[in-house]
Every structure is written in C-alpha cells, then in structure tokens.
Structure 1
Amino acid sequence: MADSPLRQALDCSDNAIALTNRDRQVVYVNQGFTRLFGFTSDEARGRYLSDMLQGPHTHQGLTEAIRSGLRLQGHYHGDALIYSRDGQPRWVSMVVNKADEAQGGPGGSITVLTDITLTKMHEVLQKRVLESMVSETSLPELMTRVCKEVENIAPEVTASILAVDTNGRVHPLAAPGLPDHICAALDGVQIGPNVGSCGTAAYLGKPVVTTSIATDPRWDDYRALFESTGLKACWSSPIKNHQGLVVGTFAFYFKEPREPNALHKSLVQVCLHLCALAIERDASRQRIHQLAFFDGLTGLPNRAMFRNSAERALSSMARDHQTGALLFVDLDRFKQVNDTQGHAAGDTLLRVVAQRLGECVRAQDCIGRLSGDEFVLLLSNCTTEQAVQTAQRVLGSIAMPVDIQGQINLPSASVGISIYPYDGTDIDTLVRHADQAMYQAKSDHRHSLQLFSQEMNRRAQERAAMERALHHALERGELTLHYQPQITSDPVLALHGMEALARWSHPEWGPVSPAQFIPLAEEAGLIPALTHWLVNEVCQQINTWRAAGIAVPHVAVNLSGRSFHQKGFAQNVSNTLRQHGLAAHDLLLEITESVMMDAREVTQENIELLSQQGFRLSLDDFGTGYSSLSYLHRLPITELKLDKSFVQDLEHSETARALTISVLSIAKSLGMTVVAEGVETSQQCRWLKEHGCEVMQGYLLGRPMPAHMLHAWSLEASAVCCS
C-alpha cells in the first residue's frame, strides 16, 4: 500500500488501524495508530500488538478472548484498557476481524481501535451516577459508586471523597479502597495549610499534588497513618458548590511516587461536577427535611416530627408493657417579654428554654416545640413519680436567670402531666390531657406542675361545649342586653345614663353568667364579634328609646382590653355610631385599668383616636388593680367607677370609708365624675350623697332590666329615696 489512495484514506482516519500476519506480527499501522499510541509504522512493524499495548491494568484474559473470538466467530468486539507508548492509559472500543490470505489479506487480522476514554467517563460514569441520584441513593453510597467507577476506569487509582462542613472539618463520604481505621481517624479533622493533601486543598481552595508522601512536609502528621497502605502519592482537588464554597475534596492515591496524567485529570474534571451536584442535592434534601420536621428557631422537632417519634415510642412502650408520661410545658408571661422587650428577646428566651429542656431529658425521650411558647416532652419507661421529678427539674432549670440584651429575665413555666396508658393510649389524647393539666397549674399557681385528672377533663369538655354554644349564640342572635340605670343624687334624682349588660340564656342550660361567657369569648377570639354586636345593639336601642320619647343621656358599654389590640377598632366604633345617626357623646366606653396601662402601640393609637373623635372613657373597678394616678391625667378619662367592694364595706369599715373619700377627692380635683357601683341600702346611698358622690348605680336604685322596662322604671324611680 506504498502511497495508494487506500493508504491515504486510512491515514486520515481518527481510528487506530493495525494489520497482522499469520504469525500475529504487525505488518501495517496507520497514522491514526501513531497519533493515538505514539508508535511509528517502523517501530510497530514486526511486533505483537499485545506487547505494545497491554499494560499493568489491562484485563489478563484479553489476548485469549480475542483469539477465541477469531477462532470461533472470525471476529471479536469489546472494550479494553490499554496503554500508549508513554504509559498513558486509554479505553478503546476494539473490533478485530480475520484477514485471510485467500481473501487478499495478510493472513492474520485487521484491528480497529476507537478511543472511548472520554465517552466512557462521561456516558458510563455520569449516567450511572445520575441514575443513582434519581433513585434516591444515599450520599455515602452514591460517592462510593463514584469511587468504584473511577477505579474501574483507572485501576492504578485509589479514590477518596471527603465532605467539608461549615466549621471547616472533614468527614469521609467514600473511600472503598482505604482501610476503615484511616477513615475513622480523618473524621472531624480541621482543614489547614499542612493537613495532608485533602485538608490543604480544602483550606486553599485549589488542587494539591503530593508526588511523594514520604517527603512532603504537609504529610508530617499523617504519614504514619498511611504507612501500612503502601500509597506513595496523592492528588486532591476541592469540590466547590455553585457559590464557590468548598464542600468536599476528591483525591487520587497512587502506589508509586508520581503526578496525575491526562486521563486522571479528565476523570477528576468530570467527577468534581458530579460530586458537587450530589453534595448540594443532599444538602438541599437535608434542608428541606429540617424545614419540614424541625423548628427553625429552636432546632427542636416540630409538631409533625414529635408526633412521628412519639407514636413510635408509644408503640414500643405498649409492646414492652411500660408506662410513660407526657409533659406539656408552657412559659408564664411570655407575651409580656415580647411586648416589653421585643420579639428578638422573646426568640432568645425560647432558644434558651429549648436548650434547657434538652438537658433535662434522656436520649430515649422525645421533645418538641408545638407552637409559640408551648413545648412537649414524652418520657419513655417512666413512672408517675419519675415524671413529677422530671417536671420539677424542668421548672427549676427554666427558672434560672437569663440575660437578654443586658436585661436579666426570671422566666418561669407551668407544666401539665398525663400518664401513659392511664390518661390516654394515643399521642393526641395524652397531649390534650397534659394541656388541660397545664392550664390547671397555670390557674392555680404559676411556676407549678399538675397531674391530669378526669375532673379536669370534664371541665374542659364543658368549656369546649360552652365555646361552641357561644359561637352559635352570636350567629343566631341568642344574646340580649339588659340595662341598669345610673342616677344622679343631687340636687334631685335624675337619670345620668344606662349601663348595657350582656345576657345569655341557653336553650338547655338556662341563664349563663357573664362571668363565665365573657372570659370564654376572650380566650376563644370572639371578642371582635361580641363587641360589634354590642355596640350595634346599643345604638339601635338608643334610637328606639328616643323615638318613644324616653330621654336617655347616654349608654355605657364595657369593652374588653382585647378590643384595643385590634388595629382600626376605634374607627369601627365611630363608623357604627355614624351609621345610626348618633354622636360620640351618646356612648360612654368603660375600660379597665389593664387597658389604661397597656403600653402596646396599637392600644395607645385606639385610645388617642377615640379621644380625638369625642368619645368619653370611664375607668371601671377603680382602686382594685394596680392603678397609676399618672395615667388619670394623661388619658381622656372623664369618669371613675367606684368598685362595689368599697360600697358594700362603707357601713362597717373605716378603711373603706377613707379610701372612698380619697377617690372622691381625686376625682373632684381632676374634674371627673364618680359612679358608685353596688349601692344596695339607703345607708350606703345616704353616706355617698353626704360625701359628694354624684352618681350611683345598684339594686337600690334599679336592677338590670330589659330595654322595654325602662319606661315603667322611670315612673317608679321617684319613690326611691336615700333619706
């Protein structure tokens, strides 16, 4: 084929082509063979292909497989790892066919070799790794597969993959070719400038080549650890995420001092991308799991995670016939921390409490944050006595001082306890019963614990039933208003105003005390609906009275402190009066001292707006709380209501008389009206009148009555006398 067109065509091929004679000796190689393996035609002629191309990691049975294929089928086709003249490994697709002399051939074979090194790396390695990722293979198993595939492509390599955490410590992910004791010794090692090849590569953020472990000073602290492995060199490359942060290292170890070759570099280029993708994907999965099952603020299991763990724990206790306990922990006055110090302070306190709770439980116990300042602990294999001891330990731990932004806080908590299986056999029942016990502890005495009892459950069921009934009562208009007159005593008896009092008569239970359903409405979030109904009903009644010629100067309505927590509450009240054609002076708004002293911005905004629109405020139950006289002149308060406890003691208590005189004096100096509540006897009425009390309210003067009875009362009122 001296310079024939055929030879020219073969030389242009990218494939390596070799012809051998009947003695298996090379008689021709094309230019593609020379380009791929480095042997010229003169150097190859007369030699055996196996002598030229097979190397230390070529499959030992390759030659026999080729001869067998030629003998039995006349051809052979397969992939093989072979080597070029300079020792570089090449993966090739090999096609060998007979070249009989009878058919014009040299009598041996024609071999066509196609370089598939890159194809094998990309298609085989990448395909298998990505398939493993899709099938939800764990990260260590996936990284082990990467190492094994690399070692299959480049058998002279021992591969290793380490993860690097956010604290700069390494953790082995995969190293199937390294002894287990080496991986254990490397776990948790801090990266740095002289921490072998991997620790240094992670520290520097760039590849580190150690051609001789025996002499590289970066290996001084790790040389002895690797001595028994026979490994002489290491090349480590940092694995970086899409933000450029080092999240791991990928290392090749060699059994002889050397540098990586082109194949190794190509392999690493492919694997670094795959490893980064896998590590980032695993981090995302862990993050999703963290968000789904753990509380972002405290790091504790959330409601869903706690429930899963608790159900497994209960199943285990049921199988082993054990008892357990559920502790429901609720912080006392936590809202006050948020309101006075801000939510950042509240978050800090929650994190501290979560840490302290974690220190109070055992490894087999379950702990979680349900919501807000509510925590739960499920104690496995625990007696009632042990549960109480743990609850006492929890209370003591939480009560330790906490420094938040330079301010010392003294937190406390209330704990309810339910016992498995006596108080419930499922987690929902145990939590509900422990919650009921916690509320009992909080109502009895804060910073205490309470065991669940069936009596608590009965009361809780009654409360739930009453809450549902109150919802229906508001929806169906079952609530009504009664009105109690307030009269002036000097110079003559006259109607000062009426106080509106909500009444509820249940179809089955009969009359329900406001002392029961008003607090229930506050806890159940029904105050906005109740207040809207109250103000609207009063406005309608004022117009009805006036249309009938009954002069009612104003109506006083009691407002819950929670109404003032609603943005826009003041404007809503004003709008309601305007819709009924009434003015602000037609309504007197009674508030408690807690509203007066509420520092919330929304509360102060509502009070200020009510004042600007002309509404008058009456301070209810004055003297029974923690009154601050400074608020009386700062807020638009025009009336003080003297609590009935003072009035009832006037006849036999010098202290009550002295305090009442003080209240009357304060009100007079501030230009405020005093309304004495609970006046039931003529002696009380006379004393109050003699000491300058202008307005009185009580059974002596008029009981609460339906609106239609006001006219009849007014006709009889003249018979009432304090003399």
Structure 2
Amino acid sequence: MRGSQIAESSGDVLIPVLEQAIDAVVIIDELNNVTFFNTAAEKLWGHSRAEVLGQNVRLLVPAPMRPAHDAQINRNRAGGTDTLVGTTVEVPIERKDGTPVWGSLSLSRITAGGKTLYAAFVKDVTEDVKRREEIYLLSLVADETDRAVIITDVRHRIVYCNRAFTEMFGYQRAEVMGQSPTALLRGQHTDPRALARLNGLAGHQRGLHEEVLGYTKSGKEIWLSATINPILDQAGQFRHAVSVIANITETKQTQVLQQRVLEALANDRPLVEVADLICRQVEAITPGVVCSILRVDAGGLVRPLAGPSLPDHYSQALDGLPIGPDVGSCGTAAHLGVPVQVDDIETSPLWAAYKSLPLPLGLLACWSSPIKLKDGRVAGTFAFYFREKRGPSAWHERLVEACVHLCALAIERHDAKAHIDQLAYYDTLTGLPNRLLLGDKIDQQIAAAAASHKEVALLFLDIDNFKDVNDTLGHSAGDALLIEIARRLQDQLRAGDIVSRLGGDEFVVMLSDCGVAHAAGVAGRILEALALPIRVEAMALPVSASIGISLYPGDGLNKEALLKHADTAMYEAKAAGRGTHRFFSHDMNLIAQERLVLGAALSDALCHGTLQLHYQPQIRTEDDSLHGVEALARWHHPVHGQVPPAKFIALAEETGLVEAVGEWALGEACRQMADWRRRGIDIPTVSVNLSPLHFRNSRLPDLVASALKRNGLEARALTLEITENVMMDDCPETAATVQAVHALGIRLSLDDFGIGYSSLSSITRLPIEELKIDRSFMRDLETDQNARAVASAVIRIGHSLGLNVVAEGVETEAQRRFLQALRCHVLQGFLFAPAQRAGDLESWLARRDVVLSRSRVA
C-alpha cells in the first residue's frame, strides 16, 4: 500500500506528521509487508524507503533474530492476538552496513476501511543501552571484586556499597546506607589521625592512600588499605568520593612477623629464641596450625630447633634421625630439597615408621618446606601440622614462603656469627681454644675455685725443637705435627679440662680441681703420649715437650700471673734437658726477671754499640807463625758487670737476637781486619762464629759479600766457624747457603768437632776446610787415655781428609808437645794468649815478634 492508500484510510493529516516524526515509523500490513518507511527510519536502518517498501518486515530484523520473529508472527496468527501491541520493548537492529544499534519499539494497531495495519514507532536508544551496559558491567566489577567499594556524598555519608563491603565487615546494605564510614570502622586501637586524614582529604586529594586498623561489625580487628578518589561535577565541585578498600590483614601480619624477627636478629638473640618466636607468631595468626622448625647438621641428621606446641618427647624422638626419602614430611623434604605435603599422615608411606608420634597428638596432616641457604644447601625444614586431613591454603603458602626466608636468614646469621666466633676464639689449625677464649675460661675457673676453695693447675707446653721440623720438612709437615699433638693432648684430659694453643708450638692445659699430684700425673701422661713417634709425610717423628706448671692460688691469683709463672717454669724444664716438667717456684721468678732485664740490656747494647770483640791468636805448630785470630764477643754492662759469653749468647738465642749479634760480629771483625791491613799489621785471617740460624737465612752470602766489599777485604781474610747443627740440618736452603758462602772464597771451619752428632759423610758433603777440636778434650789430655785417643783420631781424620786441624783450649806445654807430635796444624789457648782487645793483641804481637827474633839470633 502506498502513502496515498494510507491517506485514503487514515486521512491526509497523518502522513505528513509521521514523515516528520523524530522517531522511525514503520507501517506494515496484515501480510507483514512494509507500507510506510519514514525519513527517520531510513536514517536508523540505513536503507532507503525504495529498498524497503513492499518488502516483508523481516528484512529489517537482524538475521539471527528472524527465526524468533517468524515464530512470534505464527503464534499471533494462530492465537488471534498481537502480544506486542501496546508494549514497548528494546530490540536489536542491524543497519545496512552491519552496524548494530538498539531501538525502543512501540507497536500500535490501526484499523481503517476494514483493513488492519500495524505502526511501529522506533526510537534510537543505542547510547542509552551502551550507558546501561557500562553501568551494568561496572556494577559487576564493583560487586564481584574482593575489594570493598563505597561511594560517599558531600557529607561523607555512604550512598553505595558493594557486596564485598558487606561481606568484609558483616553489615547489611541497609545498615550502612547514610552512615559515616569512619564511624562504622573505628574501634579501640584505630589511629584517629588516620581517620582524620581520610575525612579531611577525601574531597580534595586524588588517589589518597591510607593504611588503618579497622573493626568489623562483630568487633574483629582488620587491617585496611583504602584508596579514595573524589568525583567532581562539570563546575569542578566535589560531589562524591569513591573508596576502594582492601583487606591487608594477612600482609600486615606477615609484616609484623618479619619486623619482630628482624628486631630479634638485630638484637643478636640466639637462634633457638628466634626460631621459637617465628613458631609462636605464626601459630597466633593461623588457628589450628602447629609449627616446627628443624635443623639439619653437617652429617645429615635432624636437630630440633623450635616447636613450642609440641611435647618434649616428640622433639627428643626426632633428634639425631638421618634425613632420607621416607623420613616423614620433614626428613623427606630435607633430603629431596623440595616441599613435601602429606594430607593424611595415617596412610602416608612417608610416615609409616613415625606416625605414632603425631597421631596421638591429634596431628593428622603435615606440610614441610626445606630451608635453603644462599649456596643452595638445605639447612633445615619449616613445617605446618594440621589437626584435620588437609593441605595448605593460599594464605598458608604465602606465610610459609616468608617464614622460610626468615629461617634461612636467621640460620645464616647464626652460622656467620659462629664462624666469626670460631675465628675469634679458636685456633684455625687445630680447632683448640685460642689465647682469648682460654683467658675467659681461666677467669671462670678461678672464680669457681675461689668459691669452692679448690685448686686450678696450668700446664704451659712448648714443643722441643719444633722449628727444626718446619725448617727441614716445611710448614705443612709442621702443621700436621701440631694437629696430631693437639689430638693427643685432648685425649689426656677429663671433661671440664681445657687445652689451648697459644700460637706456634705453645700449648696451655687448664686442669680444674687439680693439685700438685694430679698435675704431675697429667704432665707425665702427656709426655708419654707425645713420646710415641708421629708419622708425618712417611716419616716417624719423635716428639718431646717441656712443661711448666703453676697452681692457683699458690702461684698466682689471676690468669696473668699463672700464665707467666707457668711459662717461667717451662723455661726451667728446657734448661733441665727438655722432655720433662717443672713446677714454678719463686726462685724461678727471679731468674725470669733477670733474663728479661738482661734481654732488654742486650738489645740496648746492640743498638748503642757497647758490645766488644776480643781476639785470640791461633799459632801454627810447624813454625810458631800466626795462623790467624778468632773473634770472640764480650759484653761488659755498667750495672751487671762482665756478662759471660755463654750466658748472653744463650740469652740471644732465647730472645731472637742471636742473628743480630752475629751480623754485628761479622761487620766489626771485617772493620778491624781492614784497620790492621791499613796499618801494616799482618794478621792472615779472622774467624767469626755464626749461629745455625744464619745459615738458614738466604741473605747470608749477600751480608758476607757486603761486609768484605765495604772494608776492602779479600775473601781469604775471613773464616766462618759453623757448628755441627749446621752439618746435620737437612733443610735444602741451609746446604744452598753454605755452598753460596763458600763460593765467595770464604774459608769454613767446623767448630767443636767431636762432641756432637756429625758424621764423616756430612763433612764430605759440605765444603769444610778446617776442623776444630773442642776444648773439653784438652782438659784431660794429659791424664785420660780416652781423651788422647779421641784427639788423635780427630787429627788423623783431618789429615786423611786434607783438612786443617785446630786444637782449642791448649793451656800447658805438655798439651802443646802432645799435639805437636801428632802434627796438629794449629793451636789456640791460654798457653799462648787469652782473647784480648785489638790494641792488647797488637802489643802481644809486637812482644812476640821481639821474642821470636831473639830466639832465631840465639
């Protein structure tokens, strides 16, 4: 039907009105064909009226909706009713270009001229639908989020709250509408300043964030994180505030736990206290959970660290269990290095051998996590026991993650402190207490002994000739020897006694509740234990020690006095022949004081050049000519007087000054020889005694060469006397030094031959040019057949090896004649002249030259 046909039925006025209508108008006849399609309809559908008029109205229905549309038409015809007439519905519309829009459709029935027409008035509501859809989606977001959302008005009263808010705080919506949120949430411990900030800034500051302790309707504490944003109108005036509130109770509880544990660590609390704190804090915030922390020692054994809710017998049963693939949750987690969850202890094969422990306590499930250190080692486990058959919740997992990290931090800190303590209080080589820890232990024992009127003994041990081991076999051998000595010392002690290494080869043994008899017995057992050879680098080394003993309170009332007096007694044991022990006496103290004073005086004498060299002539037997002189050190102190050489040389060896004395003697002898040469005094050579320590010093050849060059002397002007200890020294460095000195052209003389342990093979290995018979053989030469035999043998050895032989200590004419008869090359002793100052020697030489000249003339 065309527009003219409608006009005939409906009047001329209706068509222009419908054509100008703002809303789309579509008229269809009884056959559902479109008879009218106005301009607004063309705009809405995107079809021209020429494309639509006369077509079935289903052309305007989106393709997916057409089956439902056709079914509705059929129902209407069959039932004789039009269900849509007089109603308004929103219908989807698909434009010609495929764009979807929405229309609000109102259908009217028109009867005219016996015919029925249907007029559809459709308003474009696409924007409204979109807005409603957005609002709907926003409402879904607000209601389905786990964060509480509230909207407040200009008076800070709630005008909207989502479902999460009511669930979080336990209120019905009707109870909160119109209420102040701060009034609802405040409680006993809520910070009023935080609430004031929320109220005061809600309308002025975008993105305001605040953490505050709030309360639910039932009074339960809940930590909240609130973010508030203001909503402004077009004029910029505040209208509403949107608050998003998160429950951060679990996060806050974790933070509090971490803070308290870190504070405990900062305050240097013991590891067991920190572990106990972790367990108690976790159990307080996780009802129904029982915590346990175990350590795994270096041997892979379980060591309970904390379990405040577990009975003692439970922890005792776990102590010492080896970790493994089926040792409960904890032992298995430690073995595998991964968390182990057992939801039913009763049926788990991991717990088969151990379930009798937790089940009687009502512990039905266990979840254990390994505690790993930074280097990847499993140092322990952190476990949750449950009183029902279950696994951990997400909250449990987050909490355990934090706790495992805290446990690792606590263990690493404990181990680091233990390592520092080990370095500070224990000897790194032997693991024995060092001087610092020994001092603390002595103080404790003295205090206990004073209260109980008991004695304490200190044994000061020095290993005899230990330096020879280091020098000949090397420091690694010396270290191995010290480690074994430390072990043997520990084997001789009771519980409560302590052995400490002070450093080097010095040890101190502290014996509690010990008198003279027991101390002597322990010292004897120690000497016997050390006497058994110790195998080091395929060698069996005999060991002996010198032991000094002091007793509290008789020998001192504090550790300083006791250690000093035990040290003094040890030196007396060495002087007594070594390998023995001595108790301290006050006479020893006087000797030690004298040694200390003389040591300081000797050092001062070296610094100020107050030592002197005296020279003793050496005479050839074949023609009475001067062979040379021996330089001998002498020391006259303004207070102590003339100090015997044997005394101050021994003192120099004890105090470490013997090398300095030798270097001084070498330099002074060369200086004097150079002076004699300049003044035309003919002395062929000067002999200087050096300690074995000099020949262990690789600098010796340079020192000798420098002394000769500085004084303009040729090498043969100097003879160096060495002892048999140098001959017996197996250290490669010693042999190399001797060879290097000889390579300079220096003559080497073996002093005191015949009283030591040197062998003929050792003489042949080293470049010795001279043997000196010790003066001890001269004393009995006239009366003792054995002394004459030894002297004769030494002279013959010298002859056979092509060595010059010098006899020391010749004092009588009979001795001279005997030695001369044996063709001993050189004689030295009081028969000719004592050791004397250089000037006195010059006078002696002058007088001797006169005597010799007269004897030749006669």
State whether residues 472 and 732 of structure 2, in contact with CA within 8 Å, keep that contact through their aligned partners in structure 1: no
Gaps of 5+ in 1: 20-25, 50-61, 83-88, 96-109
Give the Cα separation in 2 of the matches to 1:214 and 1:369.
Answer: 54
Q: In structure 1, which of residues 667, 675, 694 is the aligned counterpart of residue 806 of structure 2?
A: 675
CA deviations over 1:434-457 (Å, ceiling 9, x no partner):
122222223224332221111211
What residue number does 1:334 align with? 466
1:238 is paired with a residue of what secondary structure? Answer: strand
Shift of 1:576: 1.5
Q: In structure 1, which of residues 669, 688, 692 is the aligned counterpart of residue 823 of structure 2?
A: 692
Shift of 1:91: 6.8
Give the TM-score normalised by the residue count of structure 1. Answer: 0.86
Q: In structure 2, which of residues 462, 470, 489 is the aligned counterpart of residue 357 of structure 1?
A: 489
State whether residues 548 and 568 of structure 2, in contact with CA within 8 Å, keep that contact through their aligned partners in structure 1: yes
1:626 is paired with a residue of what secondary structure? Answer: coil
Give the Cα separation in 1 of the matches to 2:524 and 2:550.
Answer: 15
- Residues 446, 48 of structure 1: alpha-carbon distance in 2 compared, 3 angstrom cutoff: farther
Q: In structure 1, which of residues 606, 623, 627 is the aligned counterpart of residue 737 of structure 2?
A: 606
What residue number does 1:573 align with? 704
2:642 paired with 1:511: yes
State whether residues 185 and 215 of structure 2, in contact with CA within 8 Å, keep that contact through their aligned partners in structure 1: no
Shift of 1:615: 1.0
Moved more, 609-618 or 438-447: 438-447
Shift of 1:379: 2.2
- Residues 566, 517 of structure 1: alpha-carbon distance in 2 compared, 3 angstrom cutoff: same
State whether residues 239 and 246 of structure 1, in contact with CA within 8 Å, keep that contact through their aligned partners in structure 2: yes
Q: In structure 2, which of residues 837, 845, 849 is the aligned counterpart of residue 714 of structure 1?
A: 845
Shift of 1:153: 3.1
Give the Cα separation in 2 of the matches to 1:609 and 1:384.
Answer: 53
Shift of 1:272: 1.6
1:215 is paired with a residue of what secondary structure? Answer: coil
Give the Cα separation in 1 of the matches to 2:841 and 2:489.
Answer: 60
2:790 paired with 1:659: yes
What letter is aligned with 1:448?
Answer: T
CA deviations over 1:528-581 (Å, ceiling 9, x no partner):
321221111112111211222111111111111111122312211111211111
State whether residues 10 and 30 of structure 1, in contact with CA within 8 Å, keep that contact through their aligned partners in structure 2: no
What letter is aligned with 1:237?
Answer: S
Give the Cα separation in 1 of the matches to 2:616 and 2:800.
Answer: 28
Give the Cα separation in 2 of the matches to 1:77 and 1:300.
Answer: 56
Give the Cα separation in 2 of the matches to 1:587 and 1:649.
Answer: 31
State whether residues 28 and 45 of structure 1, in contact with CA within 8 Å, keep that contact through their aligned partners in structure 2: no
What letter is aligned with 2:718?
Answer: L
What letter is aligned with 2:788?
Answer: R
What residue number does 1:562 align with? 693
What residue number does 2:391 align with? 259
2:543 paired with 1:411: yes
Q: In structure 2, which of residues 328, 338, 341 is the aligned counterpart of residue 209 of structure 1?
A: 341
2:358 is paired with a residue of what secondary structure? Answer: helix
- Residues 602, 288 of structure 1: alpha-carbon distance in 2 compared, 3 angstrom cutoff: same
Matches within 5 A, 1:415-454: 415-454=547-586
What residue number does 1:272 align with? 404
State whether residues 11 and 30 of structure 1, in contact with CA within 8 Å, keep that contact through their aligned partners in structure 2: no
Q: In structure 2, which of residues 634, 649, 653 is the aligned counterpart of residue 522 of structure 1?
A: 653
State whether residues 418 and 433 of structure 1, in contact with CA within 8 Å, keep that contact through their aligned partners in structure 2: yes
CA deviations over 1:652-697 (Å, ceiling 9, x no partner):
3333333323222222222211111112222222222222222111
State whether residues 92 and 113 of structure 1, in contact with CA within 8 Å, keep that contact through their aligned partners in structure 2: no
Shift of 1:346: 3.0
What residue number does 2:352 align with? 220
Give the Cα separation in 2 of the matches to 1:567 and 1:181.
Answer: 67
Shift of 1:623: 1.3
- Residues 339, 271 of structure 1: alpha-carbon distance in 2 compared, 3 angstrom cutoff: same
What residue number does 1:293 align with? 425
Give the Cα separation in 2 of the matches to 1:372 and 1:116.
Answer: 61
What residue number does 1:319 align with? 451
CA deviations over 1:320-345 (Å, ceiling 9, x no partner):
33222222222333334434544333
What residue number does 1:499 align with? 630
What residue number does 1:193 align with? 325
CA deviations over 1:414-463 (Å, ceiling 9, x no partner):
32211211111111111111122222223224332221111211111111
Give the Cα separation in 1 of the matches to 2:314 and 2:497.
Answer: 34
Give the Cα separation in 2 of the matches to 1:674 and 1:699.
Answer: 18
Shift of 1:165: 1.1
Give the Cα separation in 1 of the matches to 2:386 and 2:828.
Answer: 100
Matches within 5 A, 1:74-85: 78=213
- Residues 360, 489 of structure 1: alpha-carbon distance in 2 compared, 3 angstrom cutoff: closer
Moved more, 496-505 or 121-130: 121-130
Shift of 1:27: 12
Give the TM-score normalised by the residue count of structure 2. Answer: 0.73
Matches within 5 A, 1:632-643: 632-643=763-774
CA deviations over 1:64-115 (Å, ceiling 9, x no partner):
979x99xxx9999745799xxxxxx9975299xxxxxxxxxxxxxx997513
Give the Cα separation in 2 of the matches to 1:46 and 1:454.
Answer: 96
What residue number does 1:590 align with? 721
Number of residues of Structure 1 aligned to a counterpart in Structure 2? 675
Gaps of 5+ in 2: 1-130, 152-157, 177-183, 200-210, 227-241
2:300 paired with 1:173: no
State whether residues 186 and 215 of structure 2, in contact with CA within 8 Å, keep that contact through their aligned partners in structure 1: no
Shift of 1:610: 0.5
- Residues 113, 625 of structure 1: alpha-carbon distance in 2 compared, 3 angstrom cutoff: same
Q: In structure 1, which of residues 295, 306, 310 is the aligned counterpart of residue 438 of structure 2?
A: 306
State whether residues 325 and 378 of structure 1, in contact with CA within 8 Å, keep that contact through their aligned partners in structure 2: yes
Q: In structure 2, which of residues 218, 237, 256 is the aligned counterpart of residue 124 of structure 1?
A: 256
Give the Cα separation in 1 of the matches to 2:214 and 2:823.
Answer: 113
What letter is aligned with 2:751?
Answer: D
Matches within 5 A, 1:130-169: 130-169=262-301
Give the Cα separation in 2 of the matches to 1:139 and 1:81.
Answer: 38
CA deviations over 1:137-169 (Å, ceiling 9, x no partner):
221111222222222332232221111111111
Indicate the structure whose relative CO is greater, using CA pairs within 8 Å and at least 6 residues apart.
Answer: 1
Q: In structure 2, which of residues 566, 589, 599 is the aligned counterpart of residue 457 of structure 1?
A: 589
What letter is aligned with 2:760?
Answer: L
Give the Cα separation in 1 of the matches to 2:559 and 2:580.
Answer: 23
State whether residues 685 and 719 of structure 2, in contact with CA within 8 Å, keep that contact through their aligned partners in structure 1: yes
Give the Cα separation in 2 of the matches to 1:288 and 1:265.
Answer: 34
What residue number does 1:395 align with? 527
